[in-house]
Structure 1
Amino acid sequence: MDESFIGRSSVNHTLPEPIAFNCWKHHMGYVKETLISNDLYNFSHLKIHEIIEYIGNTNVDFYYGSLDPNNISNQIISRMTAEIDLNIDNFKEWVRSKDSDYKEIILSDGSSWTIRLGQIDNRFIHIHPSRYSKKTVRVKSSTLKTTIAFFYNYGFSAENFSIENINYIRHKIVKLPPYKSNSSLVALSRVVGIFPLD
């Protein structure tokens, strides 16, 4: 079971400090790798409900590039330590300069990442993909929740992608109203389509 999140917070606690990153909400590779791991099949619906809650209720910038969460974290830490002695006081001063409360860093694959002050003492660098970044798609949280629950329940195959199966997921796991027609699946198809399917 992925205990890097459960019972603690939406932040992945296996990443190097001081990074705070919600991989379920922002990282396609992490989602797929975790969902296909053997341990995840021990999850009850209660656990998948907890994971769904980590995504929140706002629009989401979802990264589908090839850098894994550790690589992303290490690149950001490396860039930061080249500019400042990395502690919370120096970081606060750095990130809040120029009349803004965030900065952006471009990583080795060209993706852009937003850096903010986090809310956890030992994980004070909160990161997420920047809006309109390369290798990132902006989606509604309800769409991402449905996508993750669909893959959890049916696996990474296009064979089971139907309005009946999607509506079952939305009712049983995501607790959202059903889609009324196939045309409603357009946004969901777009997100499902960025995942490599079997």
Structure 2
Amino acid sequence: MTTQPLPKPILFHPLKHHLGYIREFAQAGVLLPEQELKRAFRRIGGSQLDLYIGPLSPLQISEEVVLYLQQQGLLQPEAFRPYLALNGYRICTLSDGSAWALRWGVQEGRHVHLHPGRYSLHTLRVKANHLKTALAAAVACAKYEQPLSLELLNKVRASLLDLPPVQGYTAEEGLGKVLELVLRGV
């Protein structure tokens, strides 16, 4: 998995928000102990999230946002925080046309928290449990060198995610659509 450190002051969670990173994680996940996988899946959360499916890597996204903030004189926390004051976030558009929400980051030295813009170009709104299921299934398919089946899907939902079984899915919507996205690159 290509895990390049992101430049400060960027805080970004690619396992929740970046399809390319998620696919890489699925490949590398075969080597991770089950407890570490479970921790990673829990960090994805349980609500809805915005998933970037575009061509820019997490590093490219971060570098473009840093450049934007430098050009606007907003790179330092003293300038950035008041910039967000009106509604708690601002939108930044990147070279591929995708929009990114800039929020206040609570991690020391990483005060610019990035989220893909809701319903923006190269972004899909997905349920977190669908994403976790697709990621866990991709890891299992790679680990056991077998294609996806409903049995395998429900096995990982029970053993890794503590989620109930599904009766089925279609490729056109919901879980099936997210499975197709994640498994396509694995």
User: What residue is the counterpart of 1:27 in the other structure?
Assistant: 18
**CA displacement at 1:162 relative to structure 2:** 2.2
Aligned match of 2:127 in 140, 149, 164? 140
Q: CA 1:181/1:122 → structure 2, altered by over 3 Å: closer, same or farther? A: same
1:14 aligns with 2:20: no
| 1:100-159 C-alpha deviation (Å, 9 max, x unpaired) | 110001111111100000111200000010100111111111111101101111139xx7
1:150 maps to which residue?
Answer: 137
Distance 2:88 2:74 in 1: 19
Cα pair 2:53 2:122 within 8 Å, conserved? yes
Matched position secondary structure for 1:155:
helix
* Number of equivalent positions: 185
Correspondence list, 1:107-126, <5 A = 107-126=94-113
2 CA distance for matches of 1:182 and 1:30?
A: 24
> Take 1:56 and 1:63, find their aligned partners in 2: how far apart are those partners?
17
Seq. identity, %: 31
The TM-score, its normalising length taken from structure 1, stands at: 0.85
TM-score w.r.t. structure 2 length? 0.90
CA pair 102-122 structure 1, distance change in 2 beyond 3 A: same
1:107 and 1:183, CA in 2 relative to 1: closer, same or farther beyond 3 A?
Answer: closer
1:93 alignment partner in structure 2:
82
Structure 2: runs of 5+ lacking an equivalent: none
* DSSP 3-state at the match of 1:116: strand
1:81 aligns with: 70
Consecutive unaligned residues of structure 1, counting only runs of 5 or more, are 5-12
One-letter amino acid matched to 2:126? V
Instruction: Kindly report structure 1 stretches of 4+ aligned residues shifted beyond 6 Å.
Output: none
Deviations 1:51-99 (CA, angstroms, capped at 9, x unpaired): 1011012201001111000000000000011001521111101122xx3
Asked if residue 71 in structure 1 is aligned to residue 60 in structure 2, the reply is yes
> Match for residue 44 of structure 1?
33
What is the rounded CA distance, in whole Å, between the counterparts of 1:115 and 1:79 in structure 2? 11
- CA gap 1:67/1:169 in 2 versus in 1, 3 angstroms: same
1:167 to 134, 154, 171: 154
Q: Which residue matches 1:181?
A: 168
Paired AA for residue 21 in structure 1: F
d(CA) in 1 for partners of 2:48, 2:39:
18
Calculate the aligned-residue CA RMSD, in Å: 2.5
Choose the corresponding residue for 1:191, options 172, 178, 185.
178
Q: Distance in 1 between matches of 2:128 and 2:108?
A: 27
**Shift, 1:32, TM fit:** 1.2
Alpha-carbon distance change, 184 to 74 in structure 1, aligned in 2, over 3 angstroms: closer
